[in-house]
Amino acid sequence: MDPDPYTDPHPHPYVDAAALYDLLNPWDPDLYPGDRFYAGLLAAAGSVLDVGCGTGAMLHRTRADGHRGRLVGLDPDPDALARARRRTDVEWVEAAATGAAAWDGEFDLAVMTGHAFQFLVADEEIRASLAAVRAALRPGGRFAFETRHPQARAWEEWNPANAADVTGPGGRPLRVWHQVDSVAGGVVAFHGTTAAPDGTVLRVDRAELRFLDPAALNSLLAEAGYEIEAQYGDWVGGPLDAASREIVTVARRPAGPA
């Protein structure tokens, strides 16, 4: 899924950012290979922690598809969680990724979808988040996530020429696009614009994403005490190679003593 910069608490005129995100990024394992990849992992896990769950679409669908185990969504955005909480048979917790440290060995699987891992920018933030998620996993539990491979230079596609025209909340026509502000040290700063069809800007939101290459990513995972179970360059199990646009990772908390 594309970047989700819609976090401005004071838009004018008002655009429901959380509802707009759901329209731009529908969760559907029947249509999207990435969603299908995670759906298979969730179906096989007795207990799941979704770190950066956003509006909760993945866990909503997982429960609706018959998952009977424990499902927990964790996100720092109260507006997104307000939409997530429309389903009450899932636990919802307002906290950043480091908030996963509140659990001690309670989950078979943790996931970060929608390139949420890239919103962890500084090394210290990544280390603290990896440690917290590891603590929440049972010995032998898995952590699955994806990050865009920097070699693909995905940010070069984030420009007004690739704007999306959508029917927004309440049937309102909107145009949405992203633009890059800077690229430095593996960090891409960008802003997202939501506008009316006549070009009137309704909101502008800014964010940064970290692009880690496989070696740097794997070093941080090893430092945090994970074993890498598998890494792929796409959503159907292809290898990491010179053509890969994604780094899809399944890491494991070792089953032995911490």
Q: What is the per-residue pLDDT for 177? A: 96
Rounded CA-CA distance 229/247 in Å is 13
The domains located in the chain, with CATH, are 26-150+211-252 (3.40.50.150)
Tokens 């929608």, residue located: 114
Rounded CA-CA distance 113/62 in Å is 14
Each residue's pLDDT expressed in tens, for the chain with a length of 258 residues:
344 333 334 444 567 888 888 888 899 999 999 999 999 999 999 999 999 999 999 999 999 999 999 999 999 999 999 999 999 999 999 999 999 999 999 999 999 999 999 999 999 999 999 999 999 999 999 999 999 999 999 999 999 999 999 988 788 899 999 999 999 999 999 999 999 999 899 999 999 999 999 999 999 999 999 999 999 999 999 999 999 999 999 999 999 765
Burial of 188 from C-beta contacts in 10 A (0-12 / 13-18 / 19+): buried
**Nearest CA to 97 among 79, 120, 115?**
120
Q: What is the per-residue pLDDT for 14? A: 63
Identify the bridge partners of residue 10 per DSSP, sorted by sequence position.
none
